[in-house]
Amino acid sequence: MGSAAIVACTQDNSWAARFAQVRAQTEQLSAGLSAEDCQLQAMPDASPTKWHLAHTTWFFETFVLLRHLDYRRFAAGFDYLFNSYYHGVGPMHIRAERGLISRPDLATVRRYRQHVDAAVQAALAQDALSAGALALLELGLHHEQQHQELILTDIKHALYANPLRPAYRATAAAATQPGTSPALRWRRFDEAIVAIGADEDGFAFDNERPRHRVLVPAFALAERPVTNAEYAEFVRAGGYAQPLLWLSDGWTAVQTEGWQRPLYWSKDLQSEFTLDGERELIAAAPVCHLSYYEADAFARWAGARLPTEFEWERAAANRLINGNFVDSGRLHPAPVAADGDCLFGDVWEWTASPYVAYPGFRPAVGAVGEYNGKFMCNQIVLRGGSCATPAAHIRASYRNFFPPPARWQFSGLRLARDA
């Protein structure tokens, strides 16, 4: 699969066109993978590509077709196999054992997708979906875009587990010129009461609302993320051997897991595993595949800190959403431009904020209320999107979240400090 296979965002805003575009992009992201590739699950936190293909289809079947139309399930048992965590819908297969679901085979899962796609498109053509059903359809489209990113991060981890370290795609993206990163500059923000969260216009996940006011003290934010070269200095300086730099749980993780460098880096710090296989480590590119613990330790070592999510959103307000997203076809962080001052794309940026509810938050009624709210414990917020995120999916108020030890996502950091 080459970069040209990434489907461009359609200019047709009809429901049918939007549904077709998102579903087609998922197919394109998995088109170059074999059935064996699509079966792989290298760790409990990741899922096989085949499961992603089926689960995103299950979402439309369960929440749109079955609830709003005269429709019969494609196959018995799929409601159990491809439910993720919606207990309000019914029981589900163990997450850590999704790689054991050899049947249905990949061809059947693709027929499942085609069947559900045809049913949704027929309902749209007949104007048979209510406003409530269309709201769930839109939620399903954004849900599928999240899984498009997971397809890439999960298959990257699975291929890395192979001693031969095969590439995700046969035709690699054009080689990136190493370049040099611009000097670290800081942008200062005065203390202010700022509006945080999504307004009522347009789509947003429930965890982005309600919009509310927050007092944000004066702070300064780095104009670019931390680079590979800067993080390599931390590694060479013995950062992974200095317990005073680490949170207690982070130091335990370093000792237990044997962390000595970012995930996918070679021991000599000269190369890293990418979706195009083993590649030279580009010094000027944003460092990625860091846990929250690693990001926090680096910030301490650098004499700075991680920004709060409110500081990050204040800095992102009214910014154009441009950057290196999945649409570019690069599928890896790009070197920071000399005049770059962008908060979006390349790497998800860890913040210092725990993932908790905004004041007045109320989850949606019913099983879809399990989408975000029940994870508001033991997670940390990340902001900005990554090189594996669809550009049309991100916004300044978007709150991603992962547990602190997570490393397999395209996650990096940007420094902040008090002003």
SS3 string of the chain?
Answer: CCHHHCCCCCCCCCHHHHHHHHHHHHHHHHCCCCHHHHCCCCCCCCCCHHHHHHHHHHHHHHHHHHHHCCCCCCCCCHHHHCCCCCCCCCCCCCHHHHHHCCCCCHHHHHHHHHHHHHHHHHHHHCCCCCHHHHHHHHHHHHHHHHHHHHHHHHHHHHHHCCCCCCCCCCCCCCCCCCCCCCCCCEEEECCEEEEECCCCCCCCCHHHCCCEEEEECCEEEECCCCEHHHHHHHHHCCHHHCHHHCCHHHHHHHHHHCCCCCCCECCCCCEEEECCEEEECCCCCECCCCCHHHHHHHHHHCCCECCCHHHHHHHHCCCCCCCCCHHHCCCCCCCCCCCCCCCCCCCEEEEEEECCCCCCCCCCCCHHHHCCHHHCCCCEEEECCCCCCCHHHCCCCCCEEECCCCCCCCEECCCEEEC
Homologous superfamily of domain range 186-418: paralog of FGE (formylglycine-generating enzyme) (3.90.1580.10)
Residues of the chain with CATH 3.90.1580.10: 186-418
pTM above 0.75, yes or no: yes
pLDDT tens for the chain, residues 1 to 419 = 233 233 333 344 599 999 999 999 999 999 999 999 999 999 999 999 999 999 999 999 999 999 989 999 999 999 999 999 999 999 999 999 999 999 999 999 999 999 999 999 999 999 999 999 999 999 999 999 999 999 999 999 999 999 999 999 987 776 666 667 788 999 999 999 999 999 999 999 999 999 999 999 999 999 999 999 999 999 999 999 999 999 999 999 999 999 999 999 999 999 999 999 999 999 999 999 999 999 999 999 999 999 999 999 999 998 999 999 999 999 999 998 766 668 999 999 999 999 999 999 998 888 899 999 999 999 999 999 999 999 999 999 999 999 999 999 999 999 999 99
Kindly report the CATH class assigned to 3-160. Answer: mainly alpha
Residues of the chain with CATH 1.20.120: 3-160
